[in-house]
Amino acid sequence: MYKDLENKVVVITGASTGLGKAMAERFGKEKARVVLNYLKDDSDYQEIIQTIEAAGGKAVAIKGDVTKEEDVKKLMEYAVEKFGTIDVMINNAGIENEVPSEKLTLEDWQKVIDVNLTGMFLASREAISYMLEHNIKGNVINMSSVHDRIPWPHFVHYAASKGGVKMMTETLALEYAPKGIRVNNISPGAIDTPINAEKFNDPKATQEVIDLIPMGYIGKPEQIAACAVWLASEESSYVTGMTLYADGGMTKYPGFQAGKG
Ligand code: BGC
């Protein structure tokens, strides 16, 4: 538990499922005030709000598309209207789809770049400008991926977006460090979330992924949420511009594990 997170206002995009949901619930346990952004009407955000409140936190939810400037502005306004400030911005909303690169349409390329990179830029910009205006030494946490450094055939748009997120994080960290605003990245490996459901329903495909993980298992969303609360807390107060790989060793060249080479 991180005492300083109590009552902190934490805005999370894509908060109704997967890693966003796990982070929202963990911030609830820290008794933070959580603003959930969700995209789809059938999202189970009500249930997440109840879980957060049962744990002693507070939560509200607002629908919005992170690729739309006006929706992102509304998200920030809603946070301020409901809870009075913004302390932590977690850019989590992200999408992926598998297509061989020679067949990737401009539309698909654009969609992934819009959500994964432009969406994160828009919410970072809005949150940082609020923090600057109100002299808040806040935190921005971007959800990147191991694919901000591991090339990923058939997912060129996704890998390009995450590489962009990593450099955006580092640039913003440098730019706002003098103001006490920290900007960091979390780069998860293979985690058991709905984005991977199809793959992990297939035992062969699952084993192929496990073979890429030196620690030998698929990560749990709670393990990523644990990174997020640490990065948002004062315990990481001297950490900025960093990418925290939470990947069971996936970025450490598992092919070399046996000492060959
Ligand atoms: C992707 C997952 C993938 C993992 C490891 C993540 O960024 O969202 O689908 O399993 O990287 O390749």
pLDDT classification of 175: cutoffs 50, 70, 90:
very high
Ligand 1 contact, 80 CB (< 6 A): no
The secondary element (H helix, E strand) that includes residue 83 is helix 69-83
Does the annotation mark 158 as catalytic? yes
- For a mutational test of ligand 1's pocket, the pick from 142, 147, 162, i.e. the residue with the most ligand atoms closer than 8 A to its C-beta, is 147
Q: Name the active-site residue from 2, 130, 158, 245.
A: 158
Name which CATH class applies to 3-249: alpha beta
Structure tokens at 142: 């971007």
In 3D space, the residue among 43, 45, 10, 44 whose CA is nearest the CA of residue 28 turns out to be 10
pLDDT tens, 105-159?
999 999 999 999 999 999 999 999 999 999 999 999 999 999 999 999 999 999 9
Ligand 1 center–CA 235 separation, angstroms: 28
pLDDT value of position 37: 98
**pTM for the full model?**
0.98
Ligand 1 contact, 11 CB (< 6 A): no
Ligand 1 contact, 147 CB (< 6 A): yes
User: What sign does the CA torsion over 129, 1, 37, 193 have?
Assistant: positive
Query: Rounded to an integer, what distance in angstroms lies between the CA atom of residue 142 and that of residue 165?
Result: 7
pLDDT tens, 68-104?
999 999 999 999 999 999 999 999 999 999 999 999 9
Eight-class DSSP state of 44: -
Ligand 1 center–CA 100 separation, angstroms: 16
